[in-house]
Amino acid sequence: MKCMILTPNEENLSICLRQLRKGKVIGVPTETVYGLAGNALSYESVQKIFSIKGRPLIDPLIVHCSSSKDARKYIYAPSEFDQLCAAFWPGPLTLILKKRSIIPDIVTAGLDSVAIRIPKNSIFQSLLKNLNFPLAAPSANPFGYVSPTCAQHVEQTLGDRLGFILDDGPCNHGLESTILDMRNPANPSILRHGPVEVSAIEDILGVKVTIHNICTIKNQALESPGLLSKHYSPNACVKLFEPRSNPRIKGTEKCAIIYQSKRKEEQPKFNPAVNTYWLSDDGNPKVCANQLYSLLQKVDKSGFNQIWVEKSSDSKLGIAINDRLMRAAAED
């Protein structure tokens, strides 16, 4: 069946709800990136998600719920849970917590913990509120490729494997959620940087949050999504250069250059109409984060062999941007 991009009206939401209740997988909008959604309590549905993406079973999925009350059905909540919920949910924060047995092991790579969050996107919320099960929803792209931030990205990469994609326009954040490990509440740690900054979490919890630099081991279950050293990668080779500098391009490779901001005084050696792009006019980190994946997808489809990207300043949201860039540029 040809993939259909649906406007999220009442009739189309009903179609998608029927699909999900039948164990099908659909493309859905979230405030972070577009997701590939299926019944998180159904082994068969979750297996379809892994198959459609080509995602290894060692890489766990995030479970999405409609409310913190709903989320409690699937996790063992520490005393800090309500504080985090009140501050950041619905929104782009994922918590790693001990799971209840109702969550199938296939969702969690066999681990006794689960990644869980409440999305803010109103369309995704409409689906969740009308279902009696949570939704597993990793990014709706082939495994390892650049995450999708609009329905057209999903159609271009997975359109031959999906029946329906709900279109709610571009994502608000454009980067995946922050992942906070709360399995040991006395020592919370960040497993993946994202839109929710470390300082904001520390303000709520009143304790220092550590940054967990995990060394992944081949064929071993990952503690959370987003930990693979190479990820979010276009087909073209990605090279990085330091902030406020220019790339040192050698050879005759067909290269594109992506700057964090528009710097007209530094562009005379490049032709903007041909190979130079900017994530923002003025370097605003929120704009840069929002445009990063969209621009990488656009440039990747333009026939370049290499994409040189200026790193962000390594602070606040820039840390999350650089995390994605370093994984995109990592070698296999």
Q: How many CB atoms lie within 10 A of CB 140?
A: 29
From residue 259, how far is each of 17, 145, 197, 255, 278 by CA, in Å?
Answer: 41, 21, 23, 13, 5
Residue 49: phi, psi to the nearest 5?
Answer: -60, -50
Going from the C-alpha of 331 to that of each of 11, 205, 213, 231, 250, the distances in angstroms are 45, 37, 18, 10, 19
Q: Which domains does the chain have, with CATH numbers?
A: 4-211 (3.90.870.10), 237-329 (3.40.50.11030)
Looking at residue 248, what is its pLDDT? 83
Which residue is listed with tokens 């979750």? 46
CA distance 197 to 304: 33
Close Cβ partners of 194 (under 8 Å, ≥ 6 residues apart): 32, 92, 93, 173, 175, 176, 177, 178, 179, 320
* Two tokens, residue 328: 């995109």
Which tokens sit at 123? Answer: 């369309």
Instruction: Report residue 101 as tokens.
Output: 């047995």
- Model pTM? 0.94
Q: CA 201 to CA 287: how far, in whole Å?
A: 22
- pLDDT given for residue 265 in this prediction: 52
Handedness of CA 103, 135, 98, 60 (dihedral sign): positive
Identify whether 90 is preceded by a cis peptide bond (ω within 30 of 0). Answer: yes
pLDDT at 130 (0 to 100): 98
**CA Rg value for the chain:** 20
Q: pLDDT (tens digit, 0 to 9) for every residue of the chain, 332 residues total?
A: 679 999 999 999 999 999 999 999 999 999 999 999 999 999 999 999 999 999 999 999 999 999 999 999 999 999 999 999 999 999 999 999 999 999 999 999 999 999 999 999 999 999 999 999 999 999 999 999 999 999 999 999 999 999 999 999 999 999 999 999 999 999 999 999 999 999 999 999 999 999 987 555 566 888 888 888 888 999 999 999 999 998 888 766 789 999 999 865 554 454 545 688 999 999 999 999 999 999 999 999 998 999 999 999 988 999 999 999 999 999 87
**Quick one: angle between helices 10-21 and 122-129, nearest 10?**
50
- The identity of residue 186, as a single letter, is A
CA separation for the pair 139, 207 (Å, rounded): 31
